[in-house]
Amino acid sequence: MKRIVSIWLPAWPIERMRRSHHAASPAAAWPDPAAAWPDDVALALVAATGRGLRITAANSRALAEGVQPGQALADARAAFPGLATRPAEPGRDGAGLLALAHWAGRYGPRRHVDGDDGIWIDTTGVAHLYGGEAGLLRDLHLRLRALGFTARIAVAETYGGAHALARFAASPGRPVVVADAGAIAAALAPLPVAALRIEGEAVRLARRLGLKRIGQLYDLPRVSLARRFRVSEAAAEALMARLDAALGRRAEPLAELIEPPVLHVQQSFAEPLISAEGLAAAVADLAERLCAGLDAAGLGLRRGRLVLYRVDATSTAVLIGTAAPVREPAHVIGLIAGKLETLDAGFGIDIVALEAVAAEPLGARQEVLVTSSRISDATGGGTLRAVSMGVVGGGPDCDRGRRGNGDDLARLVDRLANRLGPDRVLRAAVVPSHLPERAERRWPLVAADTARPRQQRSGASAPAASFERRHHSGLRPAVLLVAPEPITVMAEVPDGPPLRFTWRRVEHRVVAAEGPERIEAEWWRALGERRREVEAPRTAVEPGDCTASDRVSGARSPHARSCADREGKRNTTIAQASAGGAPVGELLGEPVALPSVHRPRDYYRIEDVAGGRYWVFRLGLYGRGGEDGAPRWFMHGLFG
């Protein structure tokens, strides 16, 4: 389900100017009463219009005194003589809002400014990086407040719905509003019709007809509404179009913010390009120039964009990404060549542009100490030996040093990701967790920052790897089940190793057992999950929400049925681990929930009479009070 976050900054011009002033000269003194920007000084921003000086924005004190945006300055000062004013700076306001939209890319790659005082962000598929949607919204609100901005935030499944909720449902006492999936109609029903982003004429006509709330439009026949709006059919059509877009009945395309490139090169043509050969030659020339510019800056390409501008004033673009910084023209050309055949030249292309959207430092590397070659001596006296240093990474070839096995693998990853899609080429990332099924996640090898784990973005992958070495150094199976499967066990003593066990309706007799290996529960994780559930209860089932009682015991509550519908087709496939026997972890990129995750586990390595070796565990301890039921046994892995 798509999720759109709308941010409304009601005091943006005032707060932006305040922040800019303090950043430029914190100790400066202004010649007016608002020099220190105290809250008890009424301040307004004014701009010259065709009707004289008008108020464009006012702080909270000025608003409390009756000053309103759009009011004539003379009228405002007549009502409140102590009003302090500053010239409005719409150009800087727009540039600042655009910069803030770029900053908001940490919450989703698709975003843009929303009018003169807002931003929208598509957070679909990003919330899990912040511990859920509640964590993302909390982080966003706290960061904006730390920057000095008053924000009203709403999230919904449509842009129109989030826009309306942020401006008409959020308040100082409730700065964040969440419309659950499928509940957008109920969330919008009590809001005024003006929340649908309609023009003043349509608002006046709706009020004249007694339509004050959005909910009143739900059951109103379209023909009846058009008849009532007979004075202006366009207003009726605009009203219903906005309503359909807010409710998700009509698609509403959004213009995304295009990231400013780190480096840009382009080539114009006197005659439009039509042939594939001419386009390929232009791309090759641009790749050489782009790599030369990256080399001069000591950078390597991570994400690039090729833009073709057609003669009919339209354009098309393709994106490429790399697993590691590169600046080798041949490699860049190879990534683009696979996508050129999908582009439509139309009536011809008159401009070709190649941009480095994202780049990272890439220094020179010395591959060999010296290189030598024998040159014939023109005097006939023998041969001369020419010696030169083998510094790699600079010069016209831009990345000659990518020669090792790791570089070949990076090239292969780049080609696969650009051909199949970045979400189809994954890597295993270590997660600091004691639980085997949580100790690893799968992430795209070629991805934007928002698609990578936070510890990876912050450079904390080394601590995660050391955690793996310290805590998972014990023998682990070569094959880990996607989800632990329940088994029936017969033991000599209740807390001893199994003597017999039944798994998948087949009985096994144990001839050797080693263990137990105690793995205590991660109590902090359960505490955090309970806190998130209290702060942001959810009605819809999300990945990872199914409890093991839903998966294992076959409970038939509505929640369990929803889980079964989603997971019924997922059989317990297994995945091969690395040659070193490291745990495979969660294969689907989501945690596998177990019954009572706060209970400890005792793991055993056992062998049956047929020579099969298994990794089983007992969940819970005998004789410990307060636990939910007797201990249970599960099969978790297979040894090679």
The number of C-alpha atoms within 13 Å of 320 and in the hemisphere containing its C-beta is 29
CATH 1.10.150 domain position(s) in the chain = 189-251
In the chain, which residues fall in CATH 3.30.1490.100?
Answer: 259-420
Average pLDDT, the chain: 77
Question: Of the given ranges (296-300, 390-394, 425-429, 479-483), which has the lowest mean pLDDT?
Answer: 390-394
Q: Using one digit for the tens of pLDDT, what is the confidence trace for 128-139?
A: 888 899 999 999
- 262 within 8 A of 359, measured Cβ to Cβ: yes
Separation CA 398–CA 413 (nearest Å): 20
* CATH value of 189-251 in 1.10.150, 1.10.443, 2.60.120, 1.20.1440: 1.10.150
Question: Is domain 259-420 given the CATH code 3.30.1490.100 in the classification?
Answer: yes
Res 186 pLDDT > 70 = yes
pLDDT of residue 626: 52
For the chain, residues classed under CATH 3.40.1170.60 are 12-92
Q: Cα(163)–Cα(343) distance, rounded to whole angstroms?
A: 35
Query: What is the C-alpha to C-alpha distance for residues 541 and 534, in angstroms, rounded to an integer?
Result: 16
Work out the number of other CB atoms within 10 angstroms of the CB of residue 383: 10
What value, to the nearest 5°, has the Cα angle with vertex 345 and ends 342 and 348?
165
The CA-atom distances, in angstroms, between 393 and each of 252, 294, 327, 361 are 47, 11, 9, 12
Please name the amino acid found at residue 253. P
* Three state DSSP letters for 229-248: CCCCHHHHHHHHHHHHHHHC
317, pLDDT greater than 80: yes
Question: For the whole model, what pTM was predicted?
Answer: 0.56
Q: What is the pLDDT of residues 374-392, one digit of tens each?
A: 444 444 444 444 444 444 4
Q: Give the C-alpha separation, 198 to 217, whole Å.
A: 14
Within 13 Å and on the Cβ side, how many CA atoms surround 53?
Answer: 12
**What's the CATH code, domain 12-92?**
3.40.1170.60
Q: Which of 54-68, 161-175, 454-468, 626-640 has the lowest mean pLDDT?
A: 454-468
With bands split at pLDDT 50, 70 and 90, how would you rate the model's confidence at 581? very low
